Structure 1
Amino acid sequence: MLFVYNIAIRIYYMLIRLASLFNNKAALWVRGRNKQVVKQHTRSLWFHFASLGEFEQGRPVLEQLKQQHPDQEIVITFFSPSGYEVRKNTPLANAVYYLPLDTAANAGNFIAKIDPAIAVFTKYEYWFYFFAELNKREVPLYIISGIFRPGQVFFKWYGGLHRKILGFVNHFFVQDERSVQLLREINITNATVSGDTRFDRVWTNAQHPQNIPFIDEFKNGQKLFIAGSSWPADEALLVELVKQYPDWKFIFAPHEIEEDKIANLLNLLPASETIRYSHLKAQNLQLKANQAMVIDNIGMLSSLYQYADIAYIGGGFGAGIHNTLEAAAFGLPVIFGPNYRRFNEACNLITEGAGFAIANEDELKNVAAKLMNDPDALKSAGQKAQDYVQQNVGATEMIAKHIIITYNG
């Protein structure tokens, strides 16, 4: 099976290189690794994240360890450019790198350079050679905010190699009891239910959000509907609400902000009543005269939610929804597309009466009518969302305490 794994890794690399000829994200993936120079570190604390979402998820633990060991070098790695490009200059780390392709040589060379005292991987990412090298060097490896499902390869008859990868992990901090039970079924017992560190992150953010003064001017005392991390399939439905609710304001913060994506979104919205964030100063417009705003930059979304009354979270008509908890922490009911069942928090928000899944335009209009025409229903759903987040904080303290005790020992 290791032979098949090696072949699959190389085929993946070839496909990425091919895609890099016409896809900017793939080009960044390849170019970033080719140009990367890894410095020599000493007994670093290594945190790996698949992408930006996992960075925000694992950030509370990173901050706790940095606070406890302020003089210790911290190395962060990303698999995806969407994480690396945004956080490559984060003050939380001494160095930020792309994770090299998972080969024996790459794993040995990279780990020798960063010289980790511990390694912390958040939620996803199980790489055979990197895990095996850490195990060989007796470096403690932790998975935090992990989650497992019966359909994953670890639990299939042909998943022997992947079960071996799990065997290199010193401890799993998982989101739910089901994950613990699944691991036990394959004789892995070093797992603890800690919950999801994202609750801690979004709750802290909601208590200390960044002030964005021009949003108050834009709102002008009206209710605000925000579409966070939206994709074209989401936006095609949401623009109908803009027409249907002229007394509401709307903010779109798309997941992708390339010029063609922004242009397509602007074409869907009423031109005379829509403002683009990057044009605010240049056009010197009266914000309150506009009904819709398009945010064409990265990094504002988590603070924008403080001004909203309802949030739609994008991605549910594609691979899966984005972060619902950021909005819920501010007391917003959240609406999302049909591909949400892999996300525990989305399922739980629905159960609590704070989340609403839609599969088409009619369902969106029905949910919108329920919330946008009934102030009591809106207030109740928002309170349930905020209560759900608050009741689930605490994972960071449990995880950090365990790691710090092990590290200090």
Structure 2
Amino acid sequence: MKYFWKLVYNIFLFPVIYLLAVILALFNWKIRTGLIGRLRTYSELKKEFPQRNRDRLVYWFHVASHGEFEQVKPILAGLKEIEPDCYCIVSFFSPSGYNNVEDEHIDCKIYLPLDFPWNCRRVLRRTRPHKLIFAEYDVWPNLVWSAEKLKIHTTLFAARLQKKSAKGWPFLRSFYSQVYGTINSIYTVGERDHIAVKRILPRKSKSIIRVLGNPRYDRVKDLADQFTIDRTKSVLQRPKGIIAGSIWPEDEMVILEPLTDLVKNGKEAFLYWVPHEPKGKFIDKTVRQFQQLNLESVLMSECGLTPPNGEQVLIVDHVGILAELYWKGRIAYVGGGFSTGVHNVMEPAIARLPVIFGPKFHNSDAAEALIEAGGGFPTSNSVQFSQTLNELVTNDEKFLQASLAATSVIHDNIGSATRVVRGIIRD
């Protein structure tokens, strides 16, 4: 069966994917940048490895983008602490990851090589990694199959399979069974994921499967340690700031009117507004929008992170600021839940904020855990959002219960990074 799927993937599936990427690259700069980067990957590796690697202890990590790298970051630090002389390659699929990630523990940063079998074999022969490690979901078949052929150990950590994942569909399940069944070690986020992964593996699979959690919790805790002064304050001592983070147009349609009503009606509440693309035309559009709503707004670039002085809205026009910003408010709405899937809910949770988000949250194990604990609140429409928001603003008891539940979810899940590092070294 594996031979059949290799033929299908290499003769039909990946060539079609590549052709589509070439066509779309003419119109989309992100796809174009990524494609050019992938075409240069082998030459970049030849600079780092003039000869085939024979003596370096190399670990190759692959992540999809910037968000997934947050899971890898504590793993890299832990690995370097135990094996300081190891050489760490990190490959990215997305330009947003490649262009924005800088880390002292990365020895070589590259784009994911194109997933043609001959290309995968030559990059693996050149680098000869001790282990090839994938984060969460971005697993590429020929890279895995080539590693197996070259007897290179493969690991997938923070593995999750959503209930409605296409990987569980009858026809595709057979394909993914041959991919995941080739991976030597699979570390899942939770028990449900452990069961789901076992279901798609071949019956005779020799893959090691362990439940080791999500290292992103450790990363969020490390980031929170930077905000020592804010952490010592009671959450009730903070200004009544509502932080709307990573907002997409689909989120805006649901939350903007209730938030506007809340801010206009007093209650000492004000709004931090963070668009998903906090730059250029998106910021200009946001400024005009709040002007039309008769709300006074100010850009973060003009006043910093201090609470607005007379203004009702602070518009964030800078990237990478949310982790710190959450410590300035009381309640968070995290975007993406009405479009591609909810964004990072861990950062507001560790800042002791009750977290509200849209109905598409099953991509996030943390969102599911927050709901179960009482610190997260999914919403499907403006009416439901307004009710949840007003209850948290006006009911201190309800607010404090949700605040404690949210931060407890993070602290209860810390330690995964250490377990994953041990697994990588020992398995």
TM surpasses 0.5: yes
**Cα 1:275/1:43, change in 2 over 3 Å:** same
**Cα 1:72/1:210, change in 2 over 3 Å:** farther
Offset, 1:367 = 0.8
Asked if residue 222 in structure 1 is aligned to residue 222 in structure 2, the reply is no
Offset, 1:370 = 0.7
Paired residues, number: 396
Tell me which of 324, 331, 343 is aligned to 2:352: 331
Q: Is the 8 A contact 1:51 1:83 kept in 2?
A: yes
Distance 1:138 1:389 in 2: 37
Distance 2:338 2:169 in 1: 28
1:156-191 per-residue CA deviation (whole Å, 9 max, x = no partner) reads 443333211112211111012122223333334521
| Alignment partner, residue 191 of structure 1 | 209
Distance 1:150 1:243 in 2: 37
Asked if residue 203 in structure 1 is aligned to residue 207 in structure 2, the reply is no
Distance 2:324 2:36 in 1: 32
Offset, 1:9 = 1.8
1:108-158 per-residue CA deviation (whole Å, 9 max, x = no partner) reads 122233331112111111211101121122222111110124544544443
Distance 1:19 1:278 in 2: 34
| Alignment partner, residue 276 of structure 1 | 299
| Equivalent AA in structure 1 for residue 358 of structure 2 | G
| Alignment partner, residue 13 of structure 2 | 8
For structure 1, list consecutive stretches of 5 or more residues without a partner in the other structure.
none
Asked if residue 26 in structure 1 is aligned to residue 31 in structure 2, the reply is yes
Asked if residue 235 in structure 1 is aligned to residue 252 in structure 2, the reply is yes
| Alignment partner, residue 404 of structure 1 | 425
1:80-109 per-residue CA deviation (whole Å, 9 max, x = no partner) reads 11211111x332201111102211122112
Distance 2:163 2:146 in 1: 28
| Alignment partner, residue 126 of structure 1 | 139
Distance 1:211 1:303 in 2: 12
| Alignment partner, residue 64 of structure 1 | 78
Q: Is the 8 A contact 1:45 1:117 kept in 2?
A: yes
Offset, 1:3 = 3.2
| Alignment partner, residue 40 of structure 1 | 48
* SS of structure 2 residue aligned to 1:289: coil
Distance 2:126 2:277 in 1: 34
TM-score normalized by the length of structure 1: 0.89
Q: Is the 8 A contact 1:2 1:161 kept in 2?
A: no
Q: Is the 8 A contact 1:224 1:308 kept in 2?
A: yes
| Alignment partner, residue 370 of structure 2 | 349
For structure 2, list consecutive stretches of 5 or more residues without a partner in the other structure.
50-55
| Equivalent AA in structure 2 for residue 224 of structure 1 | G
**Cα 1:24/1:269, change in 2 over 3 Å:** farther
**Cα 1:287/1:178, change in 2 over 3 Å:** closer
Q: Is the 8 A contact 1:43 1:114 kept in 2?
A: no
Tell me which of 305, 311, 326 is aligned to 1:290: 311
